[in-house]
Structure 1
């Protein structure tokens, strides 16, 4: 999952993704999280990144709200418990590895699996250090609304999808059924899957998680059928119940050739990574980020506060921190 644009903010934060008012509000929310003033990551680094001898930390934040929840809580604790200044930088998943390697960011808190990048930077160059499990297992899949499944139970088998292609057709899908995806930058095998499974569908990119959520909510409001690329954990399941379509079972190596993929997505224990120098010299900040581990339910709790209830990331983090001291207190000390 997953522009090469960055946004930075200093410790001073504002309190408090595109076709509707709701999506615009979410877009504003993301801007509040990552700050104002876009800059190309290849030309400008955060003023705090890899700042030797100073209590500063720069966190990479991805564009989906679960990753934003991780960063919000980590940033809140770094600032309010440990006295660090925190900067966040929005950058796509692959460019984030390069930024982390070069010390332009100090940490990635939610990686969905990039073995090529891991081999290059962790194994070969040794400029990035693993920082352990996030505690959350991610899974990408194809989902349909549960209200449609109740009427057509066989739709949850991929072999029956062509039977329903006409019902999933939209103005954007060119006479075929629509498979709604988010950002083209996310990890997706969907075009290959549609082709290799001989499905009468067209992948249509909404452009972002927020735009995809807006479309899903609109479909649900009108009780229309839809087929969408989606993932867990994700707070939207609480608002729009969805059921996964069973694709051909995942087996190790079945997705090795991106052009020949014809299997489901794997379950992926989400990982954290630190800049290798920061991992060694980052002091209590590095310790906290290495120890940071929470459950799917905890991440969804904060994500719901941000995306659905409209709290600022800092306020959402503050609320969670206030009621979960037994969890986060253990992150502050070396194990």
Structure 2
């Protein structure tokens, strides 16, 4: 049962009335991207705000361009700013002004080359990247000739797999997946006969519970690896190191949100999801086959003790 306590307060003339009086009736614009946890989380947060008396709309947006949209006020907030994937776009928008950092989730993220554990039998030197490169022919396909095949994330995730292959002189061909679902399909198809595969993956998501695996260990991330060629082992190239192994997962908002929707901004500040919570959100869609809106509702129903305090403290 959702928002029971909030609605009971509203019934005696407090709570929701204050929300409607203070917050604009204009819709809060929440962006939707192309991976499950972000879609479910965004719907869950939207449903929290709606039941607190606020107006919400969803818009499908590019996961990199969204930060410029937030900065300009065309989009109100972003629930999943992954350090490895979107840190550069987020920082660029912050430098221009108009977008604010609304704090980190409790979740710790990692995004990088990854393999299911059965792959290690064919390339026992893993997770070291040099050992992976020495085993490149194990991952070769008709598409890649005598070089290994690495399935990277969708192009708009800007994972820079091709740049890393060039910077580290690796015997791999980088192929971009069309969607997150294509990455899961790659792993699932390889599972039956334990075919060695290496793909882009991230945590938190449901996959780590379904297919135990490991991230490839590249040269350790250093600040500047993506902007300064002198950082990292190759002095003439960018992206010659791995992504942050303990990355942040931030929330971001249009700088005018707090004044226009103070209650919604208060709730956004309070929200902080953990790795298991985010993985569960993704699982509801990726393995339980729920629609994102249904998955969001189910997660809220099952976790009222987690999120009701976030809302209650801002509405009562």
Asked whether the two chains share a fold, i.e. TM above 0.5, the reply is yes
**Residue of structure 1 equivalent to 2:162:** 191
**Residue of structure 2 equivalent to 1:276:** 255
The number of aligned residues is 282
How far 1:251 moved relative to its partner? 2.3
Give per-residue Cα distances to partners, 1:97-152, cap 9 Å, x unaligned.
12112222111111123455445543443x11221112222211211220121454
How far 1:175 moved relative to its partner? 3.2
Question: Mean alpha-carbon deviation: is it higher for 261-270 or for 311-320?
Answer: 311-320
Query: Which one of the candidate residues 50, 61, 64 is aligned to 1:91?
Result: 61
Summarize the Cα distance change of 1:236–1:117 in structure 2 as closer, same or farther, 3 Å threshold. Answer: closer
Query: Which one of the candidate residues 120, 125, 136 is aligned to 1:165?
Result: 136
Query: Which one of the candidate residues 259, 284, 289 is aligned to 2:268?
Result: 289
**Residue of structure 2 equivalent to 1:204:** 175
What is the Cα-based RMSD across aligned positions, in Å? 2.1
**Residue of structure 1 equivalent to 2:48:** 77
How far 1:297 moved relative to its partner? 0.1
Summarize the Cα distance change of 1:85–1:255 in structure 2 as closer, same or farther, 3 Å threshold. Answer: same
Distance 1:138 1:187 in 2: 16
Instruction: State the SS of the aligned residue for 1:217.
Output: helix
Question: Mean alpha-carbon deviation: is it higher for 116-125 or for 317-326?
Answer: 116-125
Q: Is residue 40–residue 292 contact of structure 2 (8 Å, CA) maintained in 1?
A: yes
Summarize the Cα distance change of 1:134–1:62 in structure 2 as closer, same or farther, 3 Å threshold. Answer: farther
Q: Does 1:265 align with 2:236?
A: no
Mapping for residues 211-226 of structure 1, pairs under 5 Å:
211-226=182-197
Instruction: State the SS of the aligned residue for 1:70.
Output: helix
**Residue of structure 2 equivalent to 1:135:** 106
Distance 2:149 2:210 in 1: 22
Distance 2:243 2:35 in 1: 18
How far 1:254 moved relative to its partner? 2.6
How far 1:301 moved relative to its partner? 0.9
Distance 1:149 1:239 in 2: 17
**Residue of structure 2 equivalent to 1:303:** 282
Distance 1:229 1:173 in 2: 17
Give per-residue Cα distances to partners, 1:268-326, cap 9 Å, x unaligned.
21111111112222132222122111101011111101121011222222222222222
How far 1:189 moved relative to its partner? 2.6
TM score, norm. by length of structure 2: 0.82
Mapping for residues 34-183 of structure 1, pairs under 5 Å:
53-54=24-25, 56-79=27-50, 81-113=51-83, 114=86, 116-125=88-97, 127-150=98-121, 152-183=123-154
How far 1:203 moved relative to its partner? 0.4
TM score, norm. by length of structure 1: 0.78
Question: Mean alpha-carbon deviation: is it higher for 200-209 or for 211-220?
Answer: 211-220
Q: Is residue 152–residue 199 contact of structure 2 (8 Å, CA) maintained in 1?
A: yes
| Higher-Rg member (1/2) | 2
